[in-house]
């Protein structure tokens, strides 16, 4: 079991996890800027780079539950340390590997592990354990806002790095930045040894079985799949989509992705705040149906830089606002002892959606020269997710009762 002298304060945890999430999510959200330069330099189609991004998201999701188990058992500090090193190695790999198969596999493994150990699933447990129950949803909202700030801050930084030093050296510099900042922050995430109470203790296997046998948990899993599909498809393919439609100025795409990050600072924060007052399932349903409406209006309206910015701002409010609500439901229903693992299981579904969204975007573009079908799928899935979240039961389970949702 992990050991520390005393539990960190909520303020310390939010600050440290905020820095980690800012870098982890900020760098990751900018990967779309490398699609065209890497594809051009290596003579690849967009499908190759899209497959690499899809593999990253798939491995991120697959490793997530195990990273969560490790964080719950051995402490968040150790998991974040492993993640920082793996993330940096992955960025160097992407900068230097020219074989397409090795590029896809290696970047998928290293970046996937890095994100699994430094993003929401890995750090949600310590936030849930440190925050009082009445502040838990708000604390998750703060962490979501930090990741959104990372996107807002890192989008122009990454684009400027590519322009100033080239796409390869930009990867090297970002890898160094991750190690330089994440490693010191991890030491503020040391937790005290777990004190076992009296009575029966729930094992990892029992906790996972309880959740997977719970109808509401499975509905949450289904909705999160849609979230992953939508945000990663848009985040990776939007710059290329805009260029295909005649908006050649790369600054428009940079501004759009930055606006998504900026407005999601507010979206995540207020989603977490509202989640402490209103039923989280209704808020989640509202977010998903709103995404479907916003995407539909974006496709129907004349495409101009202004319409892109409006779309980005609206999607930004809805972007990661699902995270504090989803984590809040998990903590409220199942408790916080196995919080990171359960969040990782739900997030695996998110990443399956991410894999499909980013890969399908590249595959269908290569086959048809258009993203139209993928946009349509994103809209239909938004409607579906809005419906499946409505029946979720947020009542805390009482151990020993039938696990009916």
CB 75 within 8 A of CB 191: yes
Query: pTM of the prediction?
Result: 0.75
178 or 343, which is more confident: 178
Residue (of 250, 382, 360) closest to 314 by Cα position: 382
The 10 Å Cβ neighbour count of residue 84 is 26
CB 341 within 8 A of CB 48: no
Taking only the tens place, the pLDDT of each residue in 346-394 is 888 988 898 888 888 888 888 888 899 999 999 999 999 999 999 999 8
User: Which residue shows structure tokens 């989008």?
Assistant: 155
pLDDT tens sequence across 268-302: 888 888 888 889 999 999 999 999 999 999 999 99
First to last CA, the chain: 32
Token pair in block for residue 218: 């499975």
CA neighbor of 288 nearest in space, from 139, 359, 153, 392? 392
Q: Is the dihedral of CA 320, 358, 212, 197 positive or negative?
A: negative
Which pLDDT does position 290 carry in this prediction? 96
Spans of all domains in the chain: 10-192+211-389
CA-CA-CA-CA torsion for 253, 285, 133, 399, nearest 10 degrees? -130
pLDDT higher than threshold 80 for residue 405: no
Confidence of residue 5 (pLDDT cuts 50, 70, 90): low
Which of 280, 308, 315 has the alpha carbon at shortest distance from 394?
A: 280
Closest CA to 171 of 33, 18, 17: 33
| In contact, 52 and 104? CB cutoff 8 Å | yes
Per-residue pLDDT at 347: 83
Q: What is the distance between the alpha carbons of residues 254 and 265, in angstroms, rounded to a whole number?
A: 17
Residue 185 has pLDDT above 50, yes or no: yes
Q: Identify which of 6-20, 229-243, 279-293 has the greatest average pLDDT.
A: 279-293
Residue 404 pLDDT: 41
pLDDT attached to residue 201 = 66
Q: Which residue has the higher pLDDT, 187 or 399?
A: 187
The pair of three-digit structure tokens given for residue 25, joined into one six-digit string = 């999510």
3-state secondary structure the chain: CCCCCCCCCHHHHHHHHHHHHHHHHHHHHCHHHHHHHHHHHHCCCHHHHHHHHHHHHHHHHHHHHHHHHHHHHHCHHHHHHHHHHHHHHHHHHHHHCCCHHHHHHHHHHHHHHHHHHHCHHHHHHHHHHHCCHHHHHHHHHHHHHHHHHHHHHHHHHHHHHHHHHCHHHHHHHHHHHHHHHHHHHHHHHCCCCCCCCCCCCCCHHHHHHHHHCCHHHHHHHHHHHHHHHHHHHHHHHHHHHHHHCCCCCHHHHHHHHHHHHHHHHHHHHHHHHHHCCCCHHHHHHHHHHHHHHHHHHHHHCCCCHHHHHHHHHHHHHHCCCHHHHHHHHHHHHHCCCCHHHHHHHHHHHHHHHHHHHHHHHHHHHHHHCCCHHHHHHHHHHHHHHHHHHCCCCCCCCCCCCCCCC
The sign one gets for the Cα dihedral 250, 253, 259, 262 is: negative
CATH number for the domain running over 10-192+211-389: 1.20.1250.20
> What count of Cα atoms within 13 Å lies in the side-chain half-sphere of residue 213?
11
Q: pLDDT grade, residue 198 (50/70/90)?
A: very low
Buried/exposed code over 230-258 (b: 16+ C-beta within 10 A; e: otherwise): bbbbbbbbbbbbbeeeebeebebbbbbbb
Rg (CA), the chain: 20
What pLDDT is stored for residue 386 in this prediction?
95
């Amino acid at each position: 079991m992990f050991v520390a002298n005393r539990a960190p304060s909520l303020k310390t945890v939010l600050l440290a996890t905020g820095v980690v999430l800012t870098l982890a999510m900020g760098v990751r959200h900018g990967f779309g800027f490398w699609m065209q330069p890497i594809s051009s330099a290596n003579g690849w189609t967009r499908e190759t780079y899209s497959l690499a991004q899809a593999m990253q998201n798939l491995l991120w999701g697959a490793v997530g539950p195990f990273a969560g188990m490790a964080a719950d058992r051995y402490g968040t500090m150790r998991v974040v340390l492993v993640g920082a090193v793996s993330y940096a190695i992955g960025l160097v790999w992407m900068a230097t590997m020219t074989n397409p198969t090795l590029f896809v596999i290696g970047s998928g493994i290293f970046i996937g592990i890095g994100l699994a150990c430094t993003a929401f699933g890995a750090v949600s447990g310590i936030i849930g354990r440190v925050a009082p129950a009445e502040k838990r949803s708000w604390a998750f909202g703060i962490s979501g806002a930090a990741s959104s700030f990372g996107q807002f801050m890192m989008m122009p930084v990454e684009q400027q790095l590519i322009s100033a030093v080239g796409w390869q050296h930009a990867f090297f510099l970002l890898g160094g930045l991750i190690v330089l900042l994440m490693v010191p922050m991890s030491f503020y995430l040391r937790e005290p040894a777990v004190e076992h109470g009296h009575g029966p203790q729930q094992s990892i296997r029992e906790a996972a079985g309880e959740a997977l046998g719970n109808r509401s948990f499975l509905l949450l899993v289904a909705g999160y799949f849609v979230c992953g599909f939508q945000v990663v498809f848009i985040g990776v393919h939007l710059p290329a989509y805009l260029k295909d439609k005649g908006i050649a100025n790369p600054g428009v795409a940079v501004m759009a992705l930055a606006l998504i990050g900026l407005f999601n600072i507010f979206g995540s924060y207020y989603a977490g705040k509202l989640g402490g007052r209103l039923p989280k399932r209704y808020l989640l349903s509202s977010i998903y149906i709103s995404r479907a409406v916003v995407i539909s209006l974006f496709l129907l309206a004349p495409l101009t830089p202004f319409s892109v910015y409006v779309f980005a701002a609206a999607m930004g409010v809805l972007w990661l606002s699902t995270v504090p609500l989803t984590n809040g439901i998990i903590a409220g229903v199942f408790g916080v002892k196995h919080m990171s693992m359960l969040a990782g299981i739900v997030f695996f579904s998110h990443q399956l959606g991410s894999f499909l969204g980013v890969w399908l975007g590249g595959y269908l573009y290569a086959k048809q020269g258009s993203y139209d079908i993928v946009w349509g799928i994103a809209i239909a899935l938004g409607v579906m997710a809005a419906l499946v979240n409505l029946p979720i039961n947020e009542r805390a389970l009482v151990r020993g009762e039938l696990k009916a949702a």
